[in-house]
């Protein structure tokens, strides 16, 4: 793979939801910025208008977006006409904010939008046509399925959402043919889904997220409690309710080895997507089985918590994770931390390809409890295998591989 210097090139990372450490937005954008700065690329970031000045990076940040889907500005609607109105309003706002930025700044060789959803898709179509002299190429990364994130499980509006995004993706064909726009995603399953839906090619980018492994100080005491973590804000689709029930089952019938669970729960209630609210089980906290981290974590705090794990538990639901992937799994694998994931998801594919751990049934708390019990019975062997797999995980998700795919470099060029 040809390595070309990025000296003199300009990259704009566009992340309208980036405010602080909450969510994946900062950690991902920071890694992409670091990869490119290492090649001599000048990196700028367009972020939410409320973006924190305390974030740990050295890039020019433009506080640009007054609103985003993720701050609740664009609620999901059941009726197609109302859903369309929300999408038109969000796209128009994104277009105006970005158009004003491109109009007053020099040309960017590459514009990378790592979290595109339907709420910005029409804006990018218009921007790519209008600013062809200011945007060398736009790489639009879609992480979610065609009915997400504004879908409602079991509601007919999901089919409308799919038709909407398919129709507008097809409108990009002339831009894709000219090399002005490239589409990307982060899982093979999602790439196949979109190729079948709209006929466009989707590049599968490796994750830019990683965590350095902890320094080994020798075998852990056989009497020390095993530390299990659940990182990333608690969420229904991430199976937080399943994990809590599994812990209750383990508490009722404890294994020989003591267990301790650390769960990231920064909001009073976990996101439940229209279901009954999910609150922390305070009885588990009082018992000492569970420790809740009730605030957003800095990047360093997050990495240190992951490194301290004996195992990370990711019981993500099959819907939507049969298509979506998880940066937490990549971070765990590159840090040499085993994981427990859900069968049939992209996480299982990743675990088998470059990770280590166990697989539990979708939504089955009893099976998850048994997988945790099985890990506890052979924890040192799992940890040793995870350390052996670090090289494979880091090779698959290497900065060089990410950069070649992001910039569209070809073999022998």
The model's pLDDT over 59-101, given as tens digits with 9 standing for 90+, comes to 999 999 999 988 888 888 889 999 999 999 999 999 999 999 9
pLDDT value of position 218: 57
Same domain for 230 and 205: no
Residue 276 has pLDDT above 90, yes or no: no
Lowest mean pLDDT among 84-98, 245-259, 292-306: 292-306
Please check whether residue 152 lies inside any domain of the structure.
yes
Instruction: Please write the tens of the pLDDT for every residue from 223-241.
Output: 789 999 999 899 999 999 9
pLDDT value of position 412: 34
Burial class (CB in 10 A: 0-12, 13-18, 19+), 52: middle
Same domain for 236 and 202: no
Same domain for 323 and 249: yes
Structural domain boundaries enclosing 305:
226-395
Same domain for 103 and 204: yes
Residue 283 has pLDDT above 60, yes or no: yes
Same domain for 300 and 231: yes
Please check whether residue 4 lies inside any domain of the structure.
no
pLDDT value of position 153: 74
Give CA–CA dist 61/120, Å, rounded.
20
Give CA–CA dist 123/69, Å, rounded.
14
Give CA–CA dist 396/271, Å, rounded.
31
pLDDT value of position 155: 84
pLDDT value of position 69: 87
Please check whether residue 198 lies inside any domain of the structure.
yes
Same domain for 108 and 24: yes
Burial class (CB in 10 A: 0-12, 13-18, 19+), 167: exposed
Residue 5 has pLDDT above 80, yes or no: no
Same domain for 60 and 49: yes
Same domain for 364 and 256: yes
Instruction: Please write the tens of the pLDDT for every residue from 394-413.
Output: 999 999 999 999 999 864 33
pTM for the complete prediction?
A: 0.90
- Mean pLDDT, range 187-210, rounded to an integer: 94
Please check whether residue 249 lies inside any domain of the structure.
yes
Same domain for 201 and 266: no
- Mean pLDDT, range 361-368, rounded to an integer: 98
Same domain for 251 and 240: yes
Please check whether residue 221 lies inside any domain of the structure.
no
Instruction: Please write the tens of the pLDDT for every residue from 127-137.
Output: 999 999 999 99
Instruction: Please write the tens of the pLDDT for every residue from 311-354.
Output: 999 999 999 999 999 999 999 999 999 999 999 999 999 999 99
Please check whether residue 218 lies inside any domain of the structure.
no
Please check whether residue 5 lies inside any domain of the structure.
no
Q: CATH number of the domain that 57 lies in? A: 3.40.50.2000
Residue 2 has pLDDT above 60, yes or no: no
- Mean pLDDT, range 33-50, rounded to an integer: 96
Strands of 181-185's sheet, edge to edge? 60-65, 42-48, 10-14, 110-113, 138-141, 181-185, 202-204
- Structural domain count of the chain: 2
Same domain for 162 and 150: yes
Give CA–CA dist 387/333, Å, rounded.
8
Same domain for 296 and 329: yes
CB 360 within 8 A of CB 342: yes
Please check whether residue 384 lies inside any domain of the structure.
yes
């Amino acid at each position: 793979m040809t390595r070309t210097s990025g000296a003199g090139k300009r990259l704009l990372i566009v992340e309208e939801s980036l405010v602080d450490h909450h969510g994946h937005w900062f950690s991902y954008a920071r890694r992409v910025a670091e990869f490119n700065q290492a090649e001599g690329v000048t990196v700028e970031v367009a972020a939410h208008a409320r973006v924190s000045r305390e974030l740990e990076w050295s890039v020019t940040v433009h506080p640009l977006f007054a609103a985003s889907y993720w701050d609740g500005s664009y609620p999901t609607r059941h009726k197609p006409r109302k859903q369309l109105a929300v999408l038109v309003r969000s796209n128009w706002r994104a277009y105006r904010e970005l158009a004003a930025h491109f109009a007053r700044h020099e040309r960017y060789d590459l514009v990378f939008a790592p979290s595109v959803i339907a709420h910005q898709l029409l804006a990018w179509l218009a921007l790519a046509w209008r600013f062809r002299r200011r945007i060398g190429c736009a790489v639009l990364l879609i992480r979610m399925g065609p009915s997400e994130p504004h879908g409602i499980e079991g509601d007919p509006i999901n089919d409308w959402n799919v038709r909407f995004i398919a129709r507008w993706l097809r409108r990009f064909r002339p831009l894709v043919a000219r090399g002005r726009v490239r589409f990307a995603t982060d899982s093979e399953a999602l790439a196949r889904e979109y190729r079948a839906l709209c006929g466009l090619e989707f590049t599968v980018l490796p994750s830019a997220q990683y965590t350095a492994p902890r320094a080994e100080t020798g075998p852990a005491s056989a009497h020390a409690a095993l530390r299990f973590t659940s990182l990333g804000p608690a969420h229904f689709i991430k199976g937080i309710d399943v994990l809590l029930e599994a812990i209750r089952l383990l508490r009722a019938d404890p294994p020989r080895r003591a267990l301790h669970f650390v769960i990231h729960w920064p909001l009073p209630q976990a996101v439940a997507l229209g279901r009954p609210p999910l609150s922390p089980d305070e009885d588990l906290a009082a018992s000492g089985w569970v420790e809740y981290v009730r605030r957003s974590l800095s990047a360093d705090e997050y990495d240190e918590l992951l490194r301290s794990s004996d195992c990370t538990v990711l019981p993500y639901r099959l819907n939507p994770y049969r298509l979506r992937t998880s940066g937490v799994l990549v971070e765990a694998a590159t840090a040499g931390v085993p994981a427990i994931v859900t069968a049939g998801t992209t996480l299982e594919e990743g675990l088998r390809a470059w990770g280590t751990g166990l697989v539990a049934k979708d939504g089955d708390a009893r099976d998850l409890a048994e997988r945790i019990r099985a890990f506890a019975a052979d924890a040192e062997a799992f940890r040793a295998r995870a350390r052996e797999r670090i090289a494979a995980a880091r090779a698959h998700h290497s900065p060089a591989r990410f950069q070649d795919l992001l910039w569209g470099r070809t073999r022998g060029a």
